[in-house]
């Protein structure tokens, strides 16, 4: 699976631009020229969301009121047109037919991205870490995404009751029952996949001896739902427990390491996580994964860049970077 071409219309700083892709692509341009925006658009097509913002609306060019991404995908050697528009909501068309439920498409088209604007498990934001994990789980076990959606719907209903300071115990008991049902399933899948991820880390870390000088693992803490907290939840105006508060931490040499990992350390570990993400997907799925490495070289020495690129074998690869770098055998797209 790969993307052959894309037209960006009113997407960030690109008013109307077309790009043609190969298997390996190097998007090069100065700061602010729109490199990240191009890979962001590709990511949106395959994942339904941006890796930089929770609101697709932010990606609409400031002087317009919609964006459109259209182009062609290649699916088992067959070329298919796609179109994604966003005005007040998202509309997605594959082969000129409107896709009513894009989840199925998304889960069959795995993509993973490293960007300084989204470090996956190494991100400062817990939500970004959970999302990185949930997408990985979803590729292997699609029901997880269905469970998450059901849980989030219930969470929003509960939030609306809490904000209105409703105190009816009967109302909460039926909601809580369902939240616990989905919450347990979500957290136990997360536990299972963190274990899987850690075992992939163990198996592969020795292949990266010069790349990573430290031991690395992930730690998961589920936030069990406590229905007895409802009074303080109403007082505080927030839902205090549940999978939306599950924590993923990373351990370096056995210590939880939140704020003191250096930039280079974080980046090496983020890239290693991308590698492990690919390994998990490959183990379960027959189709390949698209990989985006935004600003790959920033803060990373040339030897490590080369080493990492030799290790990963995606179905399609996008790298962005500054001028004066070249990657042999890459389709270089210079965006000035």
Ligand X SMILES: Nc1ncnc2c1ncn2[C@@H]1O[C@H](COP(=O)(O)OP(=O)(O)O)[C@@H](O)[C@H]1O
Please tell me the distance from the alpha carbon of residue 39 to that of residue 264, in angstroms, as a whole number.
Answer: 22
Q: Is 321 a binder of ligand X (CB under 6 A)?
A: no
CB of 54 to Mg ion, least distance (A): 18
- The minimum distance between CB 86 and ligand X, in angstroms, equals 11
Q: Is 147 in the site for Mg ion (CB under 5 A)?
A: no
> The dihedral of CA 8, 13, 16, 19: what is its sign?
negative
From 32-40, 215-223, 254-262, 275-283, span contacting ligand X (CB under 6 A): 32-40
> What's the rounded Cα separation, in Å, for the pair 35 and 40?
9
Is 13 near ligand X (CB under 6 A)?
Answer: yes
Q: How far is the CB of 35 from ligand X (least distance, A)?
A: 4
Residue among 291, 293, 332, 333 nearest 46 (CA): 291
Q: Of 2, 25, 37, 268, which lies in the binding site for ligand X, with binding defined by CB under 6 A?
A: 37
Q: Distance between CA atoms of 319 and 335, rounded to whole angstroms?
A: 13
CA distances 249 to 149, 183, 237, 270, Å, are 24, 20, 26, 13
Tell the smallest beta-carbon distance from residue 12 to ligand X (Å). Answer: 4
Are 16 and 9 in contact by the 8 Å Cβ rule? The answer is: yes
Q: What is the dihedral of CA 104, 106, 111, 114, to 10 degrees?
A: -130
Q: Please, what is the minimum distance in Å from the beta carbon of residue 309 to ligand X? A: 20
- Output the CA torsion 32→320→315→196 (10° steps): -90
Choose among Mg ion, ligand X, none what residue 33 binds, the Cβ cut-off being 5 to 8 Å by kind: ligand X
Per rule CB under 6 A, is residue 31 in the interface with ligand X?
Answer: yes
From the CB of 33, what's the least distance to ligand X, in Å? 4
Establish if 34 lies at the interface with ligand X (CB under 6 A).
yes
- What is the spatial distance between Cα 308 and Cα 197, in angstroms, rounded to a whole number? 19
Q: Does 10 bind Mg ion (CB under 5 A)?
A: no
Q: What is the smallest separation between the CB atom of 17 and ligand X, expressed in angstroms?
A: 12
By CB under 6 A, tell whether 36 contacts ligand X: yes
With a CB cutoff of 8 Å and minimum separation 6, the contacts of 54 are none
Tokens matching residue 323: 């001028």
Is 62 a residue that touches ligand X (CB under 6 A)? yes
Stretch in the footprint of ligand X (CB under 6 A) among 26-34, 143-151, 162-170, 257-265: 26-34
Contact map string, positions 227 to 266, toward ligand X, x by CB under 6 A: ----------------------------------------
Contact between 102 and ligand X (CB under 6 A)? Answer: no
Pick one of 2, 10, 33, 36: the residue that binds Mg ion (CB under 5 A): 36
- 290-293/316-321 β-pairing: parallel
The H or E element containing residue 171 is helix 169-204
Rounded distance between C-alpha atoms, residue 41 and residue 46, angstroms: 9
- DSSP conformation class of 325: -
* x/- map, 40-59, ligand X, by CB under 6 A: -------------------x
Of 40 and 246, which has the nearer Cβ to Mg ion?
40
Q: Which does 37 bind (CB under 5 to 8 A by kind): ligand X, Mg ion, none?
A: ligand X
Q: Which residues bind Mg ion (CB under 5 A)?
A: 36
Q: Which residues bind ligand X (CB under 6 A)?
A: 12-13, 29, 31-37, 59-62
């Amino acid at each position: 699976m790969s993307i052959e071409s894309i037209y960006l219309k009113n997407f960030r700083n690109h008013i109307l631009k077309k790009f043609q892709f190969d298997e390996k692509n190097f998007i090069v341009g100065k700061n602010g020229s729109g490199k990240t925006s191009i890979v962001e658009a590709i990511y949106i097509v395959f994942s339904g969301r941006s890796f930089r913002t929770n609101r697709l609306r932010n990606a609409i060019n400031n002087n317009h009121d919609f964006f459109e991404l259209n182009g062609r995908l290649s699916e088992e050697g067959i070329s298919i047109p796609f179109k994604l528009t966003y005005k007040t909501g998202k509309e997605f068309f594959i082969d000129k037919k409107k896709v009513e439920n894009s989840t199925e498409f998304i889960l069959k088209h795995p993509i993973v991205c490293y960007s300084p604007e989204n470090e996956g498990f190494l991100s400062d934001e817990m939500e970004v870490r959970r999302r990185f994990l949930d997408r990985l789980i979803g590729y292997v076990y699609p029901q997880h995404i269905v469970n998450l959606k059901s849980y989030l719907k219930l969470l929003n209903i509960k939030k609306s009751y809490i904000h209105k300071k409703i105190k009816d115990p009967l109302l909460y008991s039926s909601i809580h029952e369902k939240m616990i049902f989905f919450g347990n399933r979500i957290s136990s899948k997360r536990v299972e996949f963190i274990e899987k991820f850690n075992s992939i880390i163990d198996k592969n870390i020795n292949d990266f001896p010069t790349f990573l000088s430290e031991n690395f693992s992930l730690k998961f803490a589920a936030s069990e739902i406590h229905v007895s907290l409802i009074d303080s939840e109403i007082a505080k105006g927030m839902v205090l427990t549940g999978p939306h508060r599950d924590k993923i931490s990373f351990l370096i040499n056995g210590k939880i390491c939140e704020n003191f990992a250096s930039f280079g350390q974080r980046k090496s570990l983020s890239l290693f996580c991308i590698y492990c993400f690919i390994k998990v997907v490959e183990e379960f799925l027959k189709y390949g994964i698209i990989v985006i490495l935004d600003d790959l070289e920033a803060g990373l020495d040339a030897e490590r860049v080369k080493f990492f690129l030799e290790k990963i074998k995606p179905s399609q690869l996008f790298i962005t970077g500054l001028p004066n770098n070249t990657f042999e055998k890459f389709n270089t797209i210079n965006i000035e």
